[in-house]
Structure 1
C-alpha cells in the first residue's frame, strides 16, 4: 500500500500529497487497461455495464491524474478489472509485483489444465492400447486355429495323394497281370 509521506499546499491553497495519488491511480488504471489490450474508448463502452458513463476524454484525464475519482467510480473500476479497490492506489512497483503473481497463477492454472488434458489423452491411449492388445491376442488365437486347420488339410491331402497313388499302382499291377 502506498505510504503518504508529505502534504504540500499548492498555489490555490489545496493540499497536495506526495506522491500524487491521482497520478498513481491514473497510472494503475492505464496499466490495467493496457494489460487487457483495450483502448480508452473500448474501456469506456464496457464500463457502462459497471455503472460508469464516461467519455474517452474523462478516462484520459483520470489516467493522466488530472481528474480525481469518486468512491463509486473507484469501486466500479475495481469491479470491472476484478481487483481490490485499494490496489488502484498501490505503488506501481507493488502493482507490478501483484500483476506478476496473478499472471503466474494464470500460467500455473493453464499448465495444470494442459497437464490434465495430456493425462486424459494418455489414459485414452492406454485404453486403446489395451483394446489393441486384446484384438492382437484374438487374432493370434484365430491364426493358431487356422494353422491347425491348415495342417489337418495338408495331412488329409497327403493321405488322399497316397491313396490315389496306391490305387493307381494297384490298377497298373492288375493291368500287367491281365496282359
Structure 2
C-alpha cells in the first residue's frame, strides 16, 4: 500500500524539484509508475498467499513462493544495475540541469515558473545554482540583468551587499550543495 501511495504521490503531486529538473524529471515519473506496478503486484501476491494459506492450497502457496523468488532476483539485478550506472546517470542529470539553468533562468523580476522554482530551491537549500555562483556566468540571466548571481544566492537577501556583483563568502553561498539523486 505504501508503494502504491508513493507512486500516486509522484504521479499526481506537485514537486518543486521536478519543475526545476525539467526533462530529467521524467525519470522520477517512471519511478512513480514503477512503484505503482510493484505495489499492485505485491498486493496481489499477498492476497494470493493469504488465500493459499487459508484454503491450505499447496499449489497456490508454491506459486506465491516462486513469484517471490523471481521478484527477489529481479530486485537484486535492478539494484546492481542502478549502482553500476549511478555515477553516469547523476553526471548526465547534473549537466542537463546546468545547461537548462543557464538557458532558462530569468531571475526574481521575471514571473516564470522555472525561475520561481529555482529561487525557492536556492533559498531552501542555501546554495547558488547547480555548482556555485559561476553557473550564471554567460547565462541568459547575466545577459538580461547584468548581475553575476541572483538574490537567491545571498545569505541575507535584503542586505545592501547582496547586489548581484559582490562574490564574497560572507555575502553568497559558495559551497556546493547538491541534492543526492
- What is the TM-score when the length of structure 2 is the normalising length? 0.25
The structure with the greater share of residues assigned to strand is 1
Q: Which protein is bigger by CA-based radius of gyration? A: 1
